[in-house]
Amino acid sequence: MISLLRDKYKSYRDRLKGQKERFRTFFVPRIGILGQYAPKKLIIPDWYTEDIQLDSFPVISIVTPSYNTVQYMQRTIESVLGQEYPQLQYVIQDGASTDGTAEIIENYEKQLTYWESNPDKGQSHAINKGFMHTTGELMAYLNSDDILLPGTLHYVAQFFLEHPEVDAIYGHRVLINENDDEVGRWVLPGHDNDILTCNDFVPQETLFWRRSLWNKAGGCIDEDFQFAMDWDLLLRFREAGAKFERLPRFLGAFRVHATMKSIVDWNEVGLVEMDRLRKRCHGDVLPEKKMEKITQKYIRKHFFFNKLYRLGLLKY
């Protein structure tokens, strides 16, 4: 009897602890956090894969820079080719990998617009080299450990066709681990140009833009950046007068793992490059109070959208 009561008490205590944890995390902003909960199966809504009928298909050019990511390369490639988008230019620019990555890419050679495995000067240089082999009206780059979610390219093409005034788009972010299990989500508010001068919360794997904007903003990734090159590109888009739109959908998944650049290069490269961009925007070191004021305004918007999403009042 005592043992039974003890087990019941333990079960009750565990449930209460779980309820407290869910209550606590419900009121904590999730944007910027890479690991939010225990891994669970990533479930794609049925409507993500519904047929989208288009009168025309703008050419979409995607470049994947890669270097020694053999464990993820195939999943990245198949997430792009599996879109079955009829006007796709897919280029993979590998930096002379030594772990078998090139052999995996070679298996898809007939389905690629171009690929090569040669030494380069880093990720930014690889992206620029890759885009030299493309001509598409719409552009994006996808890192070799991230993935596109099903139906993304048709959805993106449809939006650009229906909104000729929009120059660049992005969506919400799913976070996945090494095994493709979901470990978090970023639900973003509508686009805010002000936050771009302080922080980059735009999920790079969901970003697409028009080639006309790319050309207007310099037509290249700045190779002086090896960490914050996507933030620099967004700022140059902004300076070129781009109209951004955050789409109401999860477009891609960002992979969280121990060797990711966001972790490995954060202190030595990331913080330095981000400081450099803030100084460029504000003319000097951005006062902490001013940065906090701009950031908190955006975080409050995120909190509102995230809460509605988790309550099921917003469907993405």
Arithmetic mean of pLDDT, 83-91: 97
For residues 228 and 151, what is the distance between their CA atoms, to the nearest angstrom? 28
Q: Report the SS3 class of residue 281.
A: helix
How is residue 122 written in tokens? 């880093």
| pLDDT averaged over every residue in the chain | 90
Q: Which residues pair with 183 in a beta bridge?
A: none
Q: What per-residue confidence (pLDDT) applies to 9?
A: 47
Q: What per-residue confidence (pLDDT) applies to 18?
A: 46
Tens of pLDDT along 243-273? Answer: 999 999 999 999 999 887 656 666 778 889 9
The amino acid occupying position 273 is: E
β-pairing verdict for 208-210 and 168-176: antiparallel
DSSP structure string for 225-274 = -SSSHHHHHHHHHHHTTPPEEEEEEEEEEEEP-TT-HHHHTIIIIIHHHH
Arithmetic mean of pLDDT, 171-186: 97
Classify residue 232 by burial, with Cβ atoms within 10 Å: 0-12, 13-18, 19+.
buried
How is residue 227 written in tokens? 């960490």
For residues 201 and 189, what is the distance between their CA atoms, to the nearest angstrom? 10
Arithmetic mean of pLDDT, 295-305: 93
For residues 180 and 40, what is the distance between their CA atoms, to the nearest angstrom? 9
Q: Is the dihedral of CA 245, 157, 187, 123 positive or negative?
A: negative
For residues 305 and 258, what is the distance between their CA atoms, to the nearest angstrom? 29
Place 21 in a pLDDT band, splitting at 50, 70 and 90: very low
Residue 200 has pLDDT above 50, yes or no: yes
How is residue 204 written in tokens? 């790079």
CB 31 within 8 A of CB 302: yes
β-pairing verdict for 168-176 and 88-94: unpaired
Residue 43 has pLDDT above 70, yes or no: yes
Q: What per-residue confidence (pLDDT) applies to 238?
A: 97
Arithmetic mean of pLDDT, 188-215: 96
The amino acid occupying position 75 is: R
Compute φ and ψ for 155, nearest 5 degrees. Answer: -65, -45
Residue 20 has pLDDT above 50, yes or no: no
Q: Report the SS3 class of residue 242.
A: coil
Q: What per-residue confidence (pLDDT) applies to 293?
A: 86
Arithmetic mean of pLDDT, 195-217: 96
Instruction: Domain 57-310: give its CATH code.
Output: 3.90.550.10
Residue 189 has pLDDT above 70, yes or no: yes
Q: What per-residue confidence (pLDDT) applies to 7?
A: 53
Place 99 in a pLDDT band, splitting at 50, 70 and 90: very high
Q: What per-residue confidence (pLDDT) applies to 6?
A: 52
Q: What per-residue confidence (pLDDT) applies to 141?
A: 98
Residue 297 has pLDDT above 70, yes or no: yes
Domain residues of the chain, as ranges?
A: 57-310
Place 28 in a pLDDT band, splitting at 50, 70 and 90: confident
Q: Is the pTM of this model over 0.85?
A: yes
Q: Work out the end-to-end distance of the chain between its first and last CA atoms, rounded to an integer number of angstroms.
A: 49
Tens of pLDDT along 123-137? Answer: 999 999 999 999 999
For residues 131 and 111, what is the distance between their CA atoms, to the nearest angstrom? 17
Q: What per-residue confidence (pLDDT) applies to 10?
A: 55
Query: Comparing C-alpha atoms, which of 94, 189, 90 is closest to residue 140?
Result: 90
CB 170 within 8 A of CB 140: no
Give the position of tokens 């037509």. Answer: 219
How is residue 105 written in tokens? 């890419």
Arithmetic mean of pLDDT, 10-30: 53
The amino acid occupying position 267 is: N
Query: Comparing C-alpha atoms, which of 23, 11, 18, 20 is closest to residue 38?
Result: 18
Answer with the residue of higher pLDDT: 36 or 21. 36
Tens of pLDDT along 151-160? Answer: 999 999 999 9
β-pairing verdict for 138-141 and 208-210: antiparallel
Residue 16 has pLDDT above 50, yes or no: no
Classify residue 188 by burial, with Cβ atoms within 10 Å: 0-12, 13-18, 19+.
buried
Q: What per-residue confidence (pLDDT) applies to 291?
A: 81
DSSP structure string for 48-96 = GGS----S----EEEEEEESS-HHHHHHHHHHHHTT--TTEEEEEEE--
